[in-house]
Amino acid sequence: MNEDNNYIPEKGLLFNTKGKVSVWASQYPYADIPDDYFEETFSKKGSRAKNSWSDNYKIRYFDPKQMETNGAHTGTIDMHEAAGGCSCSSSYIVNLMSKAKKNKMEQVTWIILLFEQEYSIKLSGVVKDEYTTFLGAFNYDASSESLLGEEDEDEDEENETETDSADPE
């Protein structure tokens, strides 16, 4: 009999919160993580998903459309670059990088961003599992300045315009 009556594995916890993004990262070699860690089971016509990762963190379910992941199949990737590949918004990056530095995770193998979620270690009691570490839940604003660097995008557009207008002769 399970002595822990506060947690029912079939249920889990819900952390839905608008304007927040929860972030997990790993330094475990991506290729060594078993496939079943990622395999999702779906309910509610595919709008809710569960997998070993969500079970480990006592998350009842997540919306797969609100999850982004990024990383390196081999080696590591800079946290800033990994996060930028998941979200163009810079609204949370300063706080995320501070947490990454504190946890010695500036270089990671991969990252998980779960939008519209404010995961809580106080409620779940789980800060890490075998493969990932929860770094925090941060304020998120999709309309904030781009992480990808608008200057770079503008420069690329200028280069394309110059190339397009150049005389081929």
Whether 98 shows a pLDDT value over 60: the answer reads: yes
Give me the domain span that covers residue 80.
16-164
Task: With respect to residue 119, please indicate whether it lies within any of the assigned structural domains.
Answer: yes
Question: How, if at all, do strands 67-71 and 110-117 pair?
Answer: antiparallel
pLDDT in the model for residue 147: 66
Q: What is the pTM of this model?
A: 0.81
Residue 153: its H or E element = helix 150-165
Query: What's the domain count of the chain?
Result: 1
Q: What CA–CA distances, in Å, run from 68 to 30, 88, 152, 164, 165? A: 16, 12, 23, 35, 38
Residue-wise pLDDT tens digits, 123-161: 999 999 999 999 999 999 988 887 665 444 444 444 343
Provide the H-helix boundaries in 69-149.
79-86, 93-102, 121-124
Residue-wise pLDDT tens digits, 6-55: 455 568 999 999 999 999 999 999 999 999 999 999 999 889 999 999 99
Task: With respect to residue 108, please indicate whether it lies within any of the assigned structural domains.
Answer: yes
Give the Cα separation of 15 and 89 in Å (integer).
21
Task: With respect to residue 10, please indicate whether it lies within any of the assigned structural domains.
Answer: no
Task: With respect to residue 127, please indicate whether it lies within any of the assigned structural domains.
Answer: yes
pLDDT in the model for residue 162: 41
Task: With respect to residue 1, please indicate whether it lies within any of the assigned structural domains.
Answer: no
Task: With respect to residue 97, please indicate whether it lies within any of the assigned structural domains.
Answer: yes
Task: With respect to residue 64, please indicate whether it lies within any of the assigned structural domains.
Answer: yes
Task: With respect to residue 2, please indicate whether it lies within any of the assigned structural domains.
Answer: no
